[in-house]
Structure 1
Amino acid sequence: MKLIIRVVIALVVAVVLLLGALLVLPGEKLAQLAASQIEKQTGRTVTFGGRVGYTLWPTLGVKADRVALSNADWAGPEPMLTAERLTIGIAAADLIGGKVRVTELSAVLPQLNLSTRADGTGNWVLGPVDEGQTGAAPAAEGRMESLPVSIEALNLTGASLRYAPHGETPIELTQVDLALQWPEPNGTVLADITLRPAGAPVQIAAEIGTFEAFLAGQVASVGASVTADEIELRFDGRANITGAATGRLTGKSSDLARSLAVLGGAEGVETPAVKTWLIASDLTYTTDGRLALRDLTLEADANRLRGAADVVLGDVPKVTARLSGDQLDFSALLPAGDADLPAAAAAGTGTDPVSDGWSRERMDFGWLAALNAAIALDVQGVDTGSVKLGPSKLDLALDNSRAVLKFLPASVFDGQVQGQLVVNNRNGLSVGGKLSFQDIRLEQALGQTMGYDRLNGEALGELEYLGVGNSVAEIMSSLSGKGWLEVGKGFFTGFDLEQLMRSGSGNGGSTVFDQLTASYTMEGGNLLNRDLLLTLRGLRAEGEGRIGLGAQDLDYLFTPSIQRGDGSTRLSIPVAITGPWSDPKIRPDLKRALEPEIDAVEQQAKDRLREKLSEELDTEIAPEQDINEAIRDRIEKEAKDQLLRLLGGD
């Protein structure tokens, strides 16, 4: 019993002496001891550039100003961590028992300088130093040994982060706040993070299971929620410290443009005017920046797409996808005002392209530079704002601000189109296409694309075109190209050739035809045609002239003819069509119509005169012979004969 009492007394005396020594030990000395232990455990040098204070019980605490932690020897001279103030709290009772339990680790205005080397090792990988070794202990593939301590709480306020993956563009973040709770060394970490990539706060609430194993490079369960102005994202799955992850991603936003801005989207790029959007997908991400999305559902406003996609992240992401959908409305992707041109024409508003000309509002397709893509679409319908497609197979390729849309085929204007359309915004905006089509309703095609719906019928043909400019007016005024078309039964509205050529009521102001064929070229915004052929019941019409695609005017001449039973022409009355599309002037050209009749009368008079002169002169005058020459020759011959008789000849 006495022995036990003596041992207890000795222990008490030892503790009192130890506490007394600590009380008289300056804070700087304590900091040096702490720094020495940290360097021994991590291989990194810790320096204190300001005041150092401490507490003893129940928390052994150190509070130091201007603290720096050195970098890995391969990562450069800049410290890996600096902080204006660092506070460390250690449970004193656990420390006496030989366990280091950090109850608080706080840093004010810290700066983290993170990087990786070629083998993937991060400069944040820490390890104990062997005798005679300096710098960080090597660790394979970013793994780190289990920490010699447990940290219950970590707080960073106003942190700045620079992350430089080997061979890639560094990522920099400022004004980052972090609150991490880790009550059990082998348990789950709860983290609340605030990022400000574009000024506005983005909140991240994350849970990482078996965090100690996660830090050691093992795969752990991960859940994270991202919330910001107008956006919510949620991920549940598994990941490791290198960033590789697999799981389920869901998200929604009520304002796409605002969401992209909050998340640090590209500045100066106009985003499509999409409001609400949703995403749900199985996700796999690898550390080389590749993202695989399977069982993917995308919703943007009323549009819904399903399928799969692969994304290669970078300065300009590359998307490869195969998607299917029902009825899609892409009119919001077009610049405001231009998508409604045909509708405005029908309504007769101030933006009517027929009455006021094409819109001169500048179109901005800068958003084409935001990504590269190769997307296959199988859809039941698409509304682009100016053109509506039916069931269609489409391939969209987007590369360096140049978009190519292929129809494989596409249903449009009650017919089918094959070929491709191109929008190129690399050096100014240009549009072009090469298309073949069949069963196209012309009143829909011309009405929806050019506001001209007077020609009706199903067309077969080809079209190749190119336009340059930053507005619809500039593009239409620069159009060049060529094409041809054939139309079966159809009709023109606005004039009635049958009523013009025959007596009767005609067709009520329309020209009904059996067939129409034509070829054309385009230059400087004008469509030029020389071989229009139109066949009607007992009539035939030929046409030539100019259709002003840019100026929206006409200067065209129809020449309808009444045919005899043998196919010869009985009567022709040319019809001139001039003026704007909205109100063309249609007038018979009577002067041209009468020219053949005048010519016929003149020819009959010449024939009768030739016959009379032949009788009077007693000589045959051929039709091709000049009458004046025939008279002169006859006079010369008669004078010669009279002279010979006078001289006594025969």
Structure 2
Amino acid sequence: MNAPEPSSKPPRTQRLRHWRPSRTTRFVLGALGMALLLLLVFFDWNWFKGPLERAVSSATGREFRIDGDLDVDLGRTITVSADGVRLSNASWSKQARMGSADRVEIDIAPLPLLALRLRMKEVRATRPDLWLETAPDGSGGNWEFGARDDNEATPRWRLERLWIDQGRLRFTDAAEKTDIDIVLASVAPGAGARADASAPVAVAGKGHWRGAAFRLEGQAASPLALADTDTPYRIDLDASAGATRASASGTLTNPFRFQTFDVQMRLQGQDLEDLYPLLGLALPPSPPYRLDGRLRRNGDVWRYEGFKGTVGDSDLAGDVQVDVSGKRPMFTAQLLSRRLDFDDLAGFLGAPPSTGGEETANAQQKKQAAQRAASPRLLPDTPYDLAKLNAMDADVRWRAQKIHAPKLPMIDDMDAHLRLDAGLLRLEPLNFGVAGGDVRSTIRMDARSEPIDTRAQISVRGVELPRLFAQSELAQGAIGRIGGDIQLHGRGNSVAAILGSADGEVALGMGRGRISNLIMELAGLDIAESLKFLLTDDRQVPIRCAFADFGVQDGVMTSRALAFDSTDTIIVGEGTVDLGDESLDLLLRPRPKDRSILSLRSPLRVGGTFKDPSFRPDLAALGVRGAIALALGSITPPAALLATFETGPGEDSDCGGQYAR
């Protein structure tokens, strides 16, 4: 076999080793290398500002601008930094700019860019300034960006974490007279938080909430969460508006629309009436209060559940619901007080609470109490606010297990059911346990027109005389029960005006019982007998009957029958009580049934005012004893009162037909 002839060409490696580029090739390669070097030396990322601005503007629907430099660091995470960024506002806003920042750094995941999606792992903003505001028509806010493509499951951009350094957030709602200016800065997430969780922010701000001076401080979730209206927004804040303070810890969903709440709310203030301009709740005036409960809201329904606290010197607990879906808010409440200080109810009557001793009252109420103390009038004359009575509807049940009222006859408990419907207020019932008996009332106030038209029906049953004046030594050992009925109809915008124009009837009576003889002797001005009982032991005198029957017209109560009959003394009376000018003009004619050399046996004139009554002998009436004696034989109690007389099981009252004997 012949050997192959050696190839005339050298091996490939040898050929490459001996290859020399042509002069043209060397020139082209040199030019490309120089161009690449020049590109690396002189490349400016600002060339991409335009495309980036257009991309962000397209994603948000707002004009986006970078006034400073743009820089990019390439790597496993792309970091884009820009100085002097700004985002325009919604087209309806009077403010041209929604947000700006001195510097923004964005960490971007590179792989999603291949799918034309922008995943921002973190945004760090230095001195950002964000302006949030509600639309004039209430349809939304400027934080709602361009419409999402419904065919996409997720938007083409996503922001996972936001870090704020020296930030500022402003929120305005012109329709609600609200403007808040908040300074905020990101803080490290607490222990146990997810590593990728957006950092919460410390907040401190001030401004106005519905026209009232407003302050805010605490911690909240990242402002980034405000853009996600479906995710609960976590807060732990202390806020004040005027004299009202609130501490809230929990979550809000879409907080600027206030549609879903779930927070533990501690609420305190100087007067519940202050909540009217802040929340639109027309509550009555009250002493300072402090409440703590769970505040929830789902759409149009607010609930303050399981709250406990104090109002003035009374404890208060229960559940409240406010439904704002109707023409007027509907306020529904179940309330319980284990110990109710009676003067804390004074606001319902247009009067301030008591302020002496350790009584709780705010500065304004103390001033009002001092003015009332200096006034010669007793009945409250502060007018009711008709706008408030027509501002909401209500259904409130309030029970008090024990009532503290040291300046009043013994009041045991209370059961009140208040209904307010389109300006028509009804208390059905308003019941008090008083001195072992009951005072049951039905009150109707029609505020649909001015002045308020008021009707009251009050029944008194089984009120025990000794417990009624339990603090008086003269009532010790007394026996007897008081009953009666009161019907009044008046027109006016205050308690004083209503009573000053009232028509109706007032009738009270008592059946058989016992009372201190000293009272009877003093009533008859029997000096010898009175001194005897003052220096020795008092004794009890049986009562046969006592009653007072008045007709009421134009605020003037005129006696129709007025008598007090015991085995020791008979007292008959006549006269008027003027509810308008709060004056008394009653003549009481006592007739002692025993003989005493020092008995004046003169009539008593009860005069003066409700606040300063006077009792004095009427010597000018001494000459009418004969007429009085004749009158005593014919006077009888009103028939309607006989059914109210109570003396005890199995005993009949000693009035009516037997009275004339």
TM-score range with shorter-chain normalisation?
0.5 to 0.7
Aligned 8 A contact 1:88 1:105 in 2: yes
1:409 aligns with 2:431: yes
Alignment of 1:174-323 (within 5 A): 174-179=180-185, 186-193=196-203, 194-197=205-208, 198-207=212-221, 216=228, 218-220=230-232, 222-228=234-240, 231-236=245-250, 239=253, 243-245=258-260, 247-253=262-268, 255-257=269-271, 265=278, 272=285, 274-275=287-288, 277-281=290-294, 283-288=295-300, 290-312=301-323, 318-323=330-335
Instruction: Identify the residue that residue 577 of structure 1 maps to in structure 2.
Output: 605
Deviations 1:386-438 (A, max 9, x none): 75632222113356777544446320244201123467777467876321111
Alignment partners' CA distance in 1, 2:170 and 2:479:
67
Task: Mark the runs of 5 or more structure 1 residues left unpaired by the alignment.
Answer: 1-9, 72-76, 127-134, 344-349, 449-454, 564-572, 599-650
Aligned amino acid, residue 536 of structure 1: S
Match of 2:71 in 1: 56
- Quick one: distance in 1 between partners of 2:222 and 2:427? 44
Structure 1 residue 463 corresponds to structure 2 residue 469: no
Q: List aligned pairs for 1:116-155, cutoff 5 A.
A: 124-126=143-145, 136-137=147-148, 145=155, 147-154=157-164
Shift of 1:326: 0.6
CA distance 1:428–1:240, shift in 2 (3 Å): same
Q: What is the CA distance between 1:18 and its match in structure 2?
A: 6.5
Describe the SS at the equivalent of 1:201.
Answer: strand
Which of 519, 526, 529 matches 2:559? 529
* CA displacement at 1:218 relative to structure 2: 4.5
- Equivalent residue letter for 2:333: A
Seen in structure 2, the aligned counterparts of structure 1 residues 250 and 97 have a Cα distance that, compared at 3 Å, is closer
1:377 equivalent in alignment to 2:418: no
Aligned partners of 2:627 and 2:98: how far apart in 1? Answer: 100
Flag the 1:400–1:226 CA change in 2: closer, same or farther, 3 A.
farther
Alignment correspondent of 2:14: none
Contact 1:181 1:190 in 2 (8 A): yes
Q: In structure 2, how many angstroms separate the alpha carbons of the residues matched to 1:19 and 1:313?
A: 66
Q: In the alignment, is the contact (CA less than 8 A) between 2:201 and 2:219 conserved in 1?
A: yes
Alpha-carbon distance in 1 for matches of 2:304, 2:81: 48
2:415 to 379, 393, 397: 393
Deviation of 1:153 after TM superposition, in Å, equals 2.1
1:434 lines up with 2:457 in the alignment: yes
Q: Which amino acid aligns with 2:457?
A: K
1:329 matched to 2:341? The reply is yes
Query: In structure 2, do the counterparts of structure 1 residues 474 and 596 end up closer, same or farther at CA, with 3 Å as the change threshold?
Result: closer
The answer to whether the Cα contact below 8 Å between 1:323 and 1:377 also exists between their aligned partners in 2 is: yes
Whether contact under 8 Å (2:500, 2:555) holds in the other structure is yes
Distance 1:216 1:596 in 2: 88
Asked if the contact 1:322–1:376 (Cα under 8 Å) also holds between the matched residues in 2, the reply is yes
Q: 2:67 and 2:623 mapped to 1: Cα distance? A: 109
CA distance in 2, matches of 1:337, 1:264: 21
Counterparts in 2 of 1:318 and 1:156: CA distance versus 1, 3 Å: farther
Aligned mates of 2:63, 2:296 — CA distance in 1: 39
- The C-alpha deviation readout for 1:277-309, integer Å capped at 9, x for no partner, is 13123x431123x11233332333543223322
Matched letter for residue 335 of structure 2: L
Task: Determine if contact 2:314/2:344 at 8 Å carries over to the other structure.
Answer: no
Alpha-carbon offset, residue 203 of structure 1: 1.6
Return closer, same or farther for 1:147/1:395 CA change in 2, 3 Å cut-off: farther
Matched, 1:363 2:382: yes
Q: Find the aligned partners of 1:525 and 1:259 in 2 and give their Cα distance.
A: 30
Measured in 2, the distance between the counterparts of 1:515 and 1:53 equals 99
| Deviation by residue 1:227-262 (Cα, 9 ceiling, x = unmatched) | 448845132357467755464514154x4359969x
1:501-512 matches, cutoff 5 A: none
Deviations 1:533-557 (A, max 9, x none): 5443387665433234444322335
**8 Å Cα contact 1:54/1:60 also seen in 2:** no
Q: Which of 331-340 and 456-465 deviates more?
A: 331-340
Check conservation: 1:61, 1:87, Cα contact below 8 A.
Answer: no
Residue matched to 1:638: none
Q: Is the 8 A contact 2:323 2:331 kept in 1?
A: yes
CA contact (8 A) 2:247 2:267 kept: yes
Distance 1:82 1:222, change over 3 A: same
Measure, in 2, the Cα distance between the counterparts of 1:352 and 1:222.
47
Instruction: Name which of 531, 552, 556 aligns with 2:583.
Output: 552
Task: Please give the alpha-carbon distance, in whole angstroms, between the structure 2 residues aligned to 1:259 and 1:552.
Answer: 33
- What letter corresponds to residue 552 of structure 1 in structure 2? S
Q: Distance in 2 between matches of 1:441 and 1:353?
A: 31
In our comparison, the structure showing a higher alpha carbon Rg is: 1
Identity across matched positions, percent: 14
Question: Cα 1:256–1:330, aligned 2, differ >3 Å: closer, same or farther?
Answer: farther
Report the equivalent of 2:650.
none
**What's the secondary structure of 1:582's corresponding residue?**
strand
In the alignment, is the contact (CA less than 8 A) between 1:575 and 1:587 conserved in 2? yes
Matched position secondary structure for 2:319: strand
2:272–2:284 CA contact under 8 A, matched in 1: no
2:377 partner SS: coil
- Contact 2:134–2:142, Cα closer than 8 Å, also in 1: yes
Number of corresponding residues: 537
CA distance in 1, matches of 2:46, 2:156: 35
Q: Counterparts of 2:452 and 2:246 in 1: how far apart (Å)?
A: 36
The two structures, once aligned, show a CA RMSD in angstroms of 5.6
Q: Is the 8 A contact 1:402 1:423 kept in 2?
A: yes
Q: Is the 8 A contact 1:435 1:463 kept in 2?
A: yes
Letter in 2 for 1:577: R
Please state whether the residue corresponding to 2:158 is helix, strand or coil: coil
Distance 1:477 1:547 in 2: 11
Aligned 8 A contact 2:426 2:445 in 1: yes
> Aligned-pair distance for 1:64?
3.9
Question: In structure 2, how many angstroms separate the alpha carbons of the residues matched to 1:277 and 1:596?
Answer: 60
TM-score (norm 2): 0.63
Amino acid at match of 1:275: P
Partner Cα distance (1:351, 1:45) in 2 = 60
Counterpart of 1:613? none
Q: Could you list the runs of 5+ residues in structure 2 that have no partner in the other structure?
A: 1-31, 74-78, 114-118, 358-368, 472-477, 535-539, 595-600, 631-661
CA shift at 1:34, angstroms? 2.6
